[in-house]
């Protein structure tokens, strides 16, 4: 797995990964437990996990200019709209109807 492109605005971000295993010998630490063995197969697996977590975090930081909207509506109505609009998820119905309202009312 590859990381996304470096962005200067994320340079001060630091993340932590908590490593746990029922077989502690499988963790990619050296014998004194003060360094990581980057040549181990386990390290490669953990690195993929860390890269995935970092990419999700970067996307979250990019989305900071957005606000989440959440509301509930009767299941029957939402299901009908999902079918009418050919959408798979209730969330998509909310996003679609929001976007249509913005468009129809010339809101910028």
pLDDT for 83 equals 97
CA 96 – CA 108 distance, rounded (Å): 16
Residue 36 CA: distances (Å) to CA of 3, 31, 39, 42, 50 = 20, 10, 9, 10, 14
- Put simply, whether the predicted model's pTM sits higher than 0.75 gets the answer no
Residues 105, 98: Cα–Cα separation, whole Å: 11
Q: Which residue bears the tokens 């009418």?
A: 84
Q: Which residues of 48-59 are buried (b: 16+ CB within 10 A; e: fewer)?
A: eebeeebeeebe
pLDDT class of 38 with cuts at 50, 70, 90: confident
CB burial class (10 A; 0-12, 13-18, 19+) of residue 41? exposed
Domain ranges of the chain: 8-65, 75-104
Residue 104 — very low, low, confident or very high, per pLDDT cuts 50/70/90?
Answer: very high
């Amino acid at each position: 797995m590859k990381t996304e492109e470096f962005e200067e605005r994320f340079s001060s971000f630091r993340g932590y990964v908590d490593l746990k295993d029922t077989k502690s010998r499988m963790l990619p630490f050296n014998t004194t437990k003060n360094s990581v063995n980057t040549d181990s197969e386990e390290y490669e697996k953990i690195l993929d996990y860390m890269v995935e977590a970092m990419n999700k975090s970067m996307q979250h930081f990019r989305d900071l200019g957005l606000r989440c909207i959440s509301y509930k509506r009767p299941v029957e109505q939402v299901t009908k709209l999902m079918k009418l609009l050919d959408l798979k998820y209730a969330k998509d119905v909310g996003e679609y109807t929001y976007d249509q309202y913005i468009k129809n009312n010339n809101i910028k």
